[in-house]
């Protein structure tokens, strides 16, 4: 799985395309979504039909057609913008310093959605990977107006980012829907910028193919699954540049942020979007605080599966029937774990009465089921004996 925006730099392309996962999700890419086919919205009116006699004697007909889709697009497309990631190109080390001028150049183009206007400012949600590494970010409105954007915050775990721009020229703001009530087969519309700004405001249609899909992510690109992202599945054709675009329901409401695709030779029509109900609390934190506040135990950890068998018995003194768990490598001073008495080489096997078998499961439990300040009951083996610890979760810095 890799990032997949419209990009002009080789460095960006390598970052966007190089990585992959194993199993079914191998080759999945973080991208934006366009939707093929036609929704089931019925044509509401046909007007202004005329017949003209051409020079050759052939008759031509002009018909203006409106439908549910065209009306929704007319009402919502102004809230979808282009987002350009600008980075300073690497300087020639052999050129004279007086001749060198650091200029920001386009490193990638994605999409974004205006979700709020407050006073003189407007706020935009996009993907983290759209603005990652940017020195500057530029937003392009539907009418071509270009605005300098401030990145208020980014979150790598949900692949979301929030931008702020001057709101003087902004008139359309997206309305949040409710992604929890979506059903398979429900029609949706996607608006974004496939292949960059030359195709800005492209509109495609499709359906919800599935909800609550889990997609593995390798956050640090080390070949190990770090997180599982819950996404909406659509029967979407995916193109570079749609990242961060809008997935709209039949009521014209924003129900997803387009982000990923499954990219395999034998796979067609599996596009993925971040559900808006998942995105809203992250957006709120990024706008207000610049980061998402997640709880921390105050420990560095490692999957027990990565520890060779001989060390499990000689150093960890684990019973032979303990095959899964999380090894504590270090404990931060003054952390909740330190105050609870946890030590290096403790092997965690249970949180709040629920078994945990891997770092991924521990992280998902902390981030999804707890909050800063909660008390966590931990069971861990130390020198072959199962012990109980009670610790208070602090903020992950």
Buried b (16+ CB within 10 A) or exposed e, 148-185: ebebbbbbbbbbbbbbbbebeebebbbeebebeebeee
Q: How far is CA 335 from CA 296, 373, 379, in A?
A: 9, 12, 17
CA angle 46, 202, 181 (to 5 degrees): 80
What's 362's DSSP letter?
H
The active-site residue out of 6, 7, 77, 129 is 129
On whether the CB atoms of residues 282 and 127 are closer than 8 A, the answer is no
Token code pair at residue 383: 């020198």
> Would you put residue 39 in left (φ > 0), alpha (ψ -120 to 50) or beta?
beta
Residue 159 annotated in active site: yes
On whether the CB atoms of residues 170 and 161 are closer than 8 A, the answer is no
Residue 111 annotated in active site: no
Of 149, 78, 86, 146, which is closest to residue 114 (Cα–Cα)? 78
The active-site residue out of 155, 159, 285, 346 is 159
What's 286's DSSP letter?
H
Buried b (16+ CB within 10 A) or exposed e, 223-238: eebbbbbbbbbbbbbb
The active-site residue out of 243, 259, 263, 335 is 243
On whether the CB atoms of residues 140 and 200 are closer than 8 A, the answer is yes
Of 44, 96, 90, which is closest to residue 71 (Cα–Cα)? 44
For 128, the 3-state DSSP assignment is: helix
Beta-carbon count within 10 A of 293 CB? 10
Of 161, 269, 258, 7, which is closest to residue 17 (Cα–Cα)? 7
Active-site positions read 129, 159, 243
């Amino acid at each position: 799985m890799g990032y997949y925006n419209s990009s002009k730099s080789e460095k960006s392309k390598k970052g966007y395309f190089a990585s992959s996962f194993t199993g079914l999700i191998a080759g999945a890419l973080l991208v934006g979504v366009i939707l093929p086919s036609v929704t089931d919205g019925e044509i509401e009116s046909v007007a202004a039909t005329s017949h003209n006699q051409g020079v050759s004697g052939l008759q031509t007909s002009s018909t203006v057609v409106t439908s549910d889709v065209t009306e929704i697009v007319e009402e919502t497309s102004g809230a979808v913008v282009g987002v350009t990631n600008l980075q300073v190109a690497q300087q020639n080390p052999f050129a004279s310093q007086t001749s060198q001028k650091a200029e920001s150049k386009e490193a990638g183009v994605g999409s974004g959605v205006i979700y709020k206007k407050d006073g003189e400012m407007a706020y935009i949600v996009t993907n983290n990977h759209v603005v990652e590494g940017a020195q500057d970010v530029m937003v392009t409105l539907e009418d071509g107006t270009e605005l300098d954007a401030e990145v208020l915050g980014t979150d790598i775990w949900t692949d979301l980012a929030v931008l702020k721009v001057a709101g003087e020229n902004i008139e359309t703001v997206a309305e949040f829907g409710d992604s929890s009530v979506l059903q398979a087969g429900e029609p949706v519309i996607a608006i974004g910028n496939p292949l960059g700004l030359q195709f800005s405001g492209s509109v495609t249609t499709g359906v919800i193919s599935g909800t609550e899909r889990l997609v593995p992510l390798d956050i640090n690109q080390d070949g190990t699954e770090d997180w599982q992202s819950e996404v909406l599945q659509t029967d979407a054709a995916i193109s570079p540049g749609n990242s961060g675009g809008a997935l709209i329901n039949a009521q014209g409401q924003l129900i997803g942020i387009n982000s990923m695709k499954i990219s395999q030779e034998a796979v067609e029509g599996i596009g993925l979007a971040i559900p808006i109900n998942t995105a809203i609390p992250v957006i709120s934190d990024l706008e207000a605080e610049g980061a998402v506040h997640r709880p921390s135990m105050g420990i560095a950890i490692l999957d027990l599966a990565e520890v060779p068998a001989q060390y499990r018995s000689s150093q960890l003194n684990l019973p032979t029937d303990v095959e899964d768990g999380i090894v504590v490598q270090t404990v931060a001073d003054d952390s909740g774990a330190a105050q609870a008495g946890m030590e290096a080489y403790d092997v965690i096997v249970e949180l709040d009465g629920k078994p945990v078998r891997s770092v991924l499961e521990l992280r998902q439990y902390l981030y999804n089921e707890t909050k800063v300040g909660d008390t966590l009951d931990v069971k861990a083996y130390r020198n072959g004996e199962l012990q109980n610890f009670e610790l208070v979760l602090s903020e992950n810095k």
